[in-house]
Amino acid sequence: MKAKSSGLIIGISIGVVIGALLAIIGLLCFRFHRKRSQIGNSSSRRAATIPIRANGADSCTVLSDSSIGTESSRTSIHNGILSWIGGPRKSHVVAASGILEYSYKDLQKATCNFTSAIGKGAFGSVYKAQMTTGETVAVKVLATNSKQGEKEFHTEVMLLGRLHHRNLVNLVGYCAEKGQHMLIYVYMSKGSLSSHLYSEKHETLSWSLRVQIALDVARGLEYLHDGAVPPVIHRDIKSSNILLDQSMGARVADFGLSREDMLNRNATNIQGTFGYLDPEYISTRAFTKKSDVYSFGVLLFELIAGRNPLQGLLELVELASLNTGGQVGWEEIADPHLDGKFDERELNDMAALAYKCVNRSPRKRPAMRDTVQVLSHILKTRHEKKRSASEVVIATGQSDRQNSMNGEHCRAESLDSTADYVDV
Ligand SMILES: Nc1ncnc2c1ncn2[C@@H]1O[C@H](COP(=O)(O)OP(=O)(O)OP(=O)(O)O)[C@@H](O)[C@H]1O
Ligand SMILES: [Mg+2]
Phi, psi of 9 (to 5 degrees): -60, -45
Residue whose Cα lies nearest atom 17 of ligand 1: it is 121
Strand partners, 138: 128, 185
Q: Which among 285, 357, 284 has a CA at the least distance from the CA of 314? A: 357
Q: 255 C-alpha to center of ligand 2: Å? A: 9
Query: What whole-number distance in Å separates Cα of residue 224 and Cα of residue 357?
Result: 17
CATH 1.10.510.10 given to domain 193-381: yes
What is the per-residue pLDDT across 393-403, written as a single tens digit (0 to 9) for each?
666 655 554 54
Report whether 140 belongs to an annotated binding site. yes
236 catalytic? Reply is yes
pLDDT at 82: 30
CB atoms within 10 A of CB 157: 25
Contact 170, 100 (CB under 8 A): no
Ligand nearest to the CA of 126: 1
For 283, the enclosing helix (H) or strand (E) is helix 279-284
What does the alpha-carbon distance between residue 227 and residue 285 come to, in Å, rounded to a whole number? 25
- Based on the number of CB atoms within 10 Å of its own CB, is 150 exposed (0-12), middle (13-18) or buried (19 or more)? middle
**Cα separations (Å) of 380 from 191, 275, 373, 384, 404?**
27, 31, 10, 6, 35
Taking the CA of residue 124 as reference, the ligand 1 atom at the shortest distance is 18
pLDDT of amino acid 345? 95
- Whether 301 and 358 have beta carbons less than 8 Å apart is answered as yes
Taking CA atoms only, the protein residue closest to ligand 1 atom 11 is 119
Q: Residue 190 CA to chain centroid, in angstroms?
A: 14
Q: Ligand 1, residue 188: give the atom nearest the CA.
A: 3
Q: Cα of 270 to ligand 2 centre, how many Å?
A: 17
Closest ligand 1 atom to 256 CA: 27
- Give the Cα separation of 92 and 85 in Å (integer): 6
Name the 3-class secondary structure at 224: helix
Pocket residue to mutate for ligand 1, from 254, 255, 299, most atoms within 8 A of Cβ: 254
Question: What pLDDT, on the 0 to 100 scale, is given for residue 376?
Answer: 98
Query: What are the extents of the domains in the chain?
Result: 54-186, 193-381
Sheet with 180-186, side-by-side order of all strands: 93-94, 100-101, 171-177, 180-186, 136-142, 124-130, 117-120
Q: Can you give the pLDDT at residue 218?
A: 98
Strand partners, 244: 250
Task: Supply the pLDDT for residue 205.
Answer: 97
Helix (H/G/I), strand (E/B), else coil: 421: helix
Q: Are strands 100-101 and 93-94 parallel, antiparallel or unpaired?
A: antiparallel
Segment holding 130, helix H or strand E:
strand 124-130
CA angle in degrees (0–180, nearest 5) for 362-152-49: 105
Low-confidence ranges of the chain (pLDDT < 50): 1, 32-95, 258-266, 401, 403-424
Residue of 106, 216, 236, 335 marked catalytic: 236
- 95 phi and psi, to 5 degrees? -80, 170
CATH of 54-186, one of 3.50.50.60, 3.20.20.220, 3.90.226.10, 3.30.200.20: 3.30.200.20
Task: Give residue ranges with CB within 6 A of ligand 1.
Answer: 118-123, 126, 138, 169, 185-188, 191-192, 240-241, 243, 253-254
Hey, whose CA ends up nearest to atom 4 of ligand 1?
188
Q: Which of 270, 340, 332 is nearest to 301 (CA)?
A: 332
Of all ligands present, the nearest one to the C-alpha of 124 is 1
pLDDT given at position 398: 58
